[in-house]
Chain A
Amino acid sequence: MVERGRYRPVVWVLFVVATLAAVVVCLSLGSVRVPLPDAAREVGRFLTGRPAFDKTVWSIVVTVRFPRVLVAGLMGASLSVSGCAMQGLLKNPLADGTTLGISSGAGLGAVIAIAFGIQIPALPFAGTTIMAAAFSFLSLLVILTLAYQIDRSLSSNTIILLGIIFSMFIASLSSIIITFAGEKAGTILFWTMGSLASTTFANAALLFFSLLVFGGILLSMRRELNAFAIGEENALHVGVDVKRTKLLVLISVSALTGICVSVGGTIGFVGLVTPHMVRYLVGPNHLRLMPAVLFGGAIFLMLSDLAARTLFSPRELPIGVVTSLIGAVIFVNIIVAAMRKVK
Chain B
Amino acid sequence: MKSLLKATVAAIAFAAAGSAANAADVKACFVYVGPVGDFGWSYQHDQGRLAVEEKFGDKVETAYLESVPEGPDAERAIERFAREGCDIIFTTSFGYMNPTIKVAKDFPDVKFEHATGYKTAENVATYNSKFHQGRYIIGQIAAKQSEAGVAGYIASFPIPEVVSGINAFMLGAQSVNPDFKVKVVWVNTWFDPGKEADAAKALFDQGADIITQHTDSTAPLQVAQERGMKGFGQASDMIAFAPDAQYTSIIDDWAPYYIHRVQEVLDGTWESHSSWEGLAEGHVVMAPYTNLPEDVVEMAKATEAKIKDGWEPFTGPITKQDGTVAAEDGVRLDDGAILGMNWYVQGIDDQLPQ
Chains A and B bind each other: no
Interface residues of A (CB under 8 A from B): none
Residues of B at under 8 Å CB distance from A?
Answer: none
